[in-house]
Amino acid sequence: MFRKIILTLVVFAGFCLRGSAQETIQHVYGRTVLSLNGPWNYIMDPYQMGYLDYRQKPFDQSKSGKGGFYDNLTGVDKSTKTEYDFTYAPTLEVPGDWNSQEEKLLFYEGTLWYKKDFVMNPDAGKRYFLYFGAVNYECHVYLNGKKLGVHKGGFTPFQFDVSGKLNPGKNFVVLMTDNTRKRDEIPTINTDWWNYGGITRDVMIVEMPQTYIEDYKVQLAKGSKDIIEGFVRLQGTEKSGKVTLEIPELKIKSSYTTDEDGKVSFSIKTRKMDYWSPEHPKLYDVIVTSTDDKVEDKIGFRTIATRHQDILLNDKPIFLKGISVHDENPILGGRLRSEGDMRMMLEWAKELGCNYIRLAHYTHNETMLRLADEVGLLVWAEIPVYWTISWTNPETYANAENQLTVGIDRDKNRASIIVWSVGNETPVTEERNVFMGHLVDKARSLDNTRLIAAALEVEREGYTIKVEDPLGDKLDLASFNEYGGWYWSEPKELPKYTFDIRFDKPVVISEFGAGALGGFHGDEDTVWSEEHQELVYINQLEMLDKMEALRGMTPWILTDFRSPRRQHPVYQDFWNRKGLISNTGKKKKAFYILQQYYKNKTAGKQR
Ligand code: GCU
């Protein structure tokens, strides 16, 4: 009975929120946009004075709808009484979390207001959208003093239709965001990463024709190396119309007519093509046109599958030489903000000898995925269903499913992504199995071409590491985190351990590692020294290499990163020190151990 209730609740939540996945425009970076990046005035508001009256009622739900900071009153004349004024307020750079920009905001968790003035002359014949790459965590958005809506979720893009709401000339956006952690949210209150708040990714006004190309998918069909399939969807006033798909290098130019919902699916047999791979990250120019719109993208084509314990990329076995990566610039101590930041991280991964990265633990910046396509790195993408989620709360499930849906929708054309992960280290209970099982089913229903995974739970019995997490039955990989030599056992003991894994699937270790303060040296038994981290890597790799089914790994982690859980005043100072590169950009000794191990793993040779 209990299980049935859970099931019903979870399914119902999925149903009622299905339509709420904020449909954002596909490939917004390929459209005509006015960037709103740059300095925004900001006001800290720990008591939400700009949103709630003294009886805790939202101003924007009062009769007048006025009274909040979104009115953007300023000292217009000597009689104006305001207790805020954006005009004289300091600024924060957007994109960028607030924590890394102001000393007093490093630990700030709460509500903060942003305001941006901009000038534009909207064309009455066009449509306009206000697009955010991500805002952490719950934000209320106002244009010219009028509320556009609310968005929840710190890592996924969203947009508001502002057609007809833009003034000719001067306009202003006001946004209130609250990054307070809450038990029933995704992620929940407990994470091992910094709760960076604010407008952390790009903001832009997107200009579109009245009828525009809202979305498209152009990928190889599941299991095929010469059928390109997908769809185009028009949005706007004339949804049914002619669309054309062109891939000039493949001599493809096909035209179709969309149905009354604006959608048309296609399946095209192609001539021989250059398949995308890390060694040869071939991207094709793909052009989608409609009567009034045109969008150009760069898309790679490859296949990914598993066969028993092998992972097959373009039908050839591959070993995933990976590393885990947070969305954080270690030098800055804040979210990655620009293409330059992201290239730095990806070049470090290439220098390490990687062909694969785990973008932990949440949806990363779209630019990161486009760069992975360009430089040739396979990707494990993930949503922040992390640790002790509220498994029986239907809204929590709907939130998780929404973040999964928006992430898959945004990145479905990226060749680099081979894995959608639905979570990390979630404790095994019946409720969790139902919740995660639904997420797996949802991921497969959205994308039947990529592998579905999660970091599973692990037990130990003596010198045996056992993996029998029931969620593994629904996944394509046997992936799990194990911290032998750090959280349990000693480095030199590791070669005595063996694995008992209940699944006939490829094993991809999603995390192992150890902490070291870059530049701190001692003998190999001195914890926090680079030598000790090096010893853990040497013995971990010896232990793992004995595993017949090992087909990849993403050790934890490329660079040190901020964490509120790491308080040692000498060795940590609120930094998780498991990086192979320090927060000063220094490569630690273990970097070279892993680099050599990957050098010895020639492409296609499993063992
Ligand atoms: C966990 C978790 C990571 C965390 C790491 C650590 O496995 O997945 O997010 O940072 O261990 O303890 O450093």
The answer to whether 94 and 40 are in contact (CB under 8 A) is: yes
Secondary structure element (H or E) that encloses residue 595, with its range: helix 589-600
576 lines ligand 1 (CB under 6 A): yes
Rounded alpha-carbon distances, angstroms, from residue 421 to 141, 209, 245, 440: 30, 36, 31, 9
Going by alpha carbons, the residue nearest to atom 4 of ligand 1 is 192
Going by alpha carbons, the residue nearest to atom 2 of ligand 1 is 192
- Ligand 1 atom at minimal distance to the Cα of residue 515: 13
> Order of strands, edge to edge, in the sheet holding 126-132?
32-35, 203-209, 126-132, 158-161
512 Cα–ligand 1 center, Å: 9
Residue 7 pLDDT grade (very low, low, confident, very high; cuts 50, 70, 90)? very low
- Please give the Cα distance from 485 to 499 (Å, whole number): 15
Question: Is there a single domain that holds both residue 155 and residue 54?
Answer: yes
- Please give the Cα distance from 434 to 429 (Å, whole number): 9
- Ligand 1 atom at minimal distance to the Cα of residue 511: 7
Of 209, 240, 255, which residue sits at a domain end?
209
Question: Is there a single domain that holds both residue 499 and residue 482?
Answer: yes
Q: How many C-beta atoms surround the C-beta of residue 206 within 10 A?
A: 21
- Please give the Cα distance from 185 to 14 (Å, whole number): 15
Going by alpha carbons, the residue nearest to atom 12 of ligand 1 is 192
Residue 607 pLDDT grade (very low, low, confident, very high; cuts 50, 70, 90)? very low
C-alpha atoms less than 13 angstroms from C-alpha of 520 in its C-beta half-sphere: 17
Question: Is there a single domain that holds both residue 229 and residue 354?
Answer: no
Question: Is there a single domain that holds both residue 579 and residue 459?
Answer: yes
CATH of the domain at 268: 2.60.40.10
Question: Is there a single domain that holds both residue 512 and residue 502?
Answer: yes
Mutation probe of ligand 1 site: the residue of 358, 556, 562, 571 with most atoms within 8 A of C-beta: 556
Question: Is there a single domain that holds both residue 189 and residue 240?
Answer: no
Question: Is there a single domain that holds both residue 438 and residue 352?
Answer: yes
Question: Is there a single domain that holds both residue 287 and residue 333?
Answer: no
556 lines ligand 1 (CB under 6 A): yes
- Ligand 1 atom at minimal distance to the Cα of residue 361: 9
- Name the residue type at position 268: I
425 Cα–ligand 1 center, Å: 9
Please provide residue 192's backbone torsions phi and psi, each rounded to the nearest 5 degrees.
Answer: -100, 55
- Please give the Cα distance from 533 to 590 (Å, whole number): 6
Going by alpha carbons, the residue nearest to atom 3 of ligand 1 is 192
Task: Bin 238: left if φ > 0, else alpha if -120 < ψ < 50, else beta.
Answer: beta
Number of domains in the chain: 3
Q: Which residue has the tokens 């534009």?
A: 120
CATH of the domain at 350: 3.20.20.80
Residue 20 pLDDT grade (very low, low, confident, very high; cuts 50, 70, 90)? very low
* Position 2 pLDDT exceeds 50: no
Residue 129 CB contacts under 8 Å (≥ 6 apart), including other chains: 25, 159, 160, 161, 162, 163, 205, 206, 208
Q: What digits encode the pLDDT tens for the residues 141-171?
A: 999 999 999 999 999 999 999 999 999 999 9
Is residue 5 in some structural domain? no
132 Cα–ligand 1 center, Å: 29
Q: Is the pTM of this model over 0.85?
A: yes
425 lines ligand 1 (CB under 6 A): yes
Give me the chain's average pLDDT, please. Answer: 95
Residue 17 pLDDT grade (very low, low, confident, very high; cuts 50, 70, 90)? very low
pLDDT of amino acid 478: 98
Going by alpha carbons, the residue nearest to atom 9 of ligand 1 is 192
- Ligand 1 atom at minimal distance to the Cα of residue 563: 10
Q: Which two tokens stand for residue 424?
A: 């990390």
- Please give the Cα distance from 492 to 535 (Å, whole number): 8
Task: Bin 272: left if φ > 0, else alpha if -120 < ψ < 50, else beta.
Answer: beta
* Position 138 pLDDT exceeds 50: yes
Residue 603 pLDDT grade (very low, low, confident, very high; cuts 50, 70, 90)? very low
* Position 9 pLDDT exceeds 60: no
Is residue 13 in some structural domain? no
- Please give the Cα distance from 287 to 28 (Å, whole number): 14
192 Cα–ligand 1 center, Å: 6
511 lines ligand 1 (CB under 6 A): yes
Q: What is the DSSP string of 488-523?
A: BS-GGGGGG-EEEE--SS-EEEEE----B-TT----
40 Cα–ligand 1 center, Å: 34
Mutation probe of ligand 1 site: the residue of 323, 480, 481 with most atoms within 8 A of C-beta: 481
The answer to whether 534 and 520 are in contact (CB under 8 A) is: no
- Ligand 1 atom at minimal distance to the Cα of residue 386: 8
**Angle ∠(354,479,11) on CA atoms, nearest 5:** 125
pLDDT of amino acid 77: 81
481 lines ligand 1 (CB under 6 A): yes
382 lines ligand 1 (CB under 6 A): no
Is residue 606 in some structural domain? no
- Please give the Cα distance from 31 to 605 (Å, whole number): 42
Q: How many C-beta atoms surround the C-beta of residue 567 within 10 A?
A: 9
| Domain carrying residue 503 | 314-600
Q: What digits encode the pLDDT tens for the residues 434-493?
A: 999 999 999 999 999 999 999 999 999 999 999 999 999 999 999 999 999 999 999 999
Is residue 470 in some structural domain? yes
Q: What digits encode the pLDDT tens for the residues 243-302?
A: 999 999 999 999 999 999 999 999 999 988 999 999 999 999 999 999 999 999 999 999
pLDDT of amino acid 271: 87
Q: What is the largest CA-CA distance in the chain?
A: 79
Question: Is there a single domain that holds both residue 220 and residue 192?
Answer: no
Is residue 202 in some structural domain? yes
* Position 428 pLDDT exceeds 80: yes
pLDDT of amino acid 5: 47
Q: What digits encode the pLDDT tens for the residues 214-243?
A: 999 999 999 999 999 999 999 999 999 999
Is residue 376 in some structural domain? yes
The answer to whether 148 and 84 are in contact (CB under 8 A) is: no
- Ligand 1 atom at minimal distance to the Cα of residue 425: 8
424 lines ligand 1 (CB under 6 A): yes
Q: At what angle do helices 2-18 and 394-411 cross, to 10 degrees?
A: 50
Is residue 21 in some structural domain? no
Mutation probe of ligand 1 site: the residue of 193, 382, 511, 554 with most atoms within 8 A of C-beta: 511
Is residue 309 in some structural domain? no
Question: Is there a single domain that holds both residue 345 and residue 457?
Answer: yes
- Please give the Cα distance from 529 to 523 (Å, whole number): 8
Question: Is there a single domain that holds both residue 399 and residue 252?
Answer: no
Of 209, 231, 252, which residue sits at a domain end?
209
**Angle ∠(110,185,157) on CA atoms, nearest 5:** 80
- Grouping H, G, I as helix, E, B as strand and the rest as coil, residue 160 is strand
- Please give the Cα distance from 70 to 144 (Å, whole number): 8
192 lines ligand 1 (CB under 6 A): yes
Share of the chain above pLDDT 70, in %: 95
Q: What is the DSSP string of 310-371?
A: EEEETTEE--EEEEEE-S-BTTTTB---SHHHHHHHHHHHHHHT-SEEEE-SS---HHHHHH
319 Cα–ligand 1 center, Å: 23
pLDDT of amino acid 22: 52
Q: What digits encode the pLDDT tens for the residues 511-556?
A: 999 999 999 999 999 999 999 999 999 999 999 999 999 999 999 9
- Please give the Cα distance from 513 to 527 (Å, whole number): 13
45 lines ligand 1 (CB under 6 A): no
527 Cα–ligand 1 center, Å: 18
Rounded alpha-carbon distances, angstroms, from residue 224 to 205, 220, 227, 355, 378: 38, 6, 6, 23, 19
CATH of the domain at 171: 2.60.120.260
578 lines ligand 1 (CB under 6 A): yes
State CA 191 to chain mean position distance. 15
Of 256, 278, 302, which residue sits at a domain end?
302
387 Cα–ligand 1 center, Å: 10
Q: Which two tokens stand for residue 508?
A: 């991809």
Question: Is there a single domain that holds both residue 407 and residue 528?
Answer: yes
- Grouping H, G, I as helix, E, B as strand and the rest as coil, residue 483 is coil
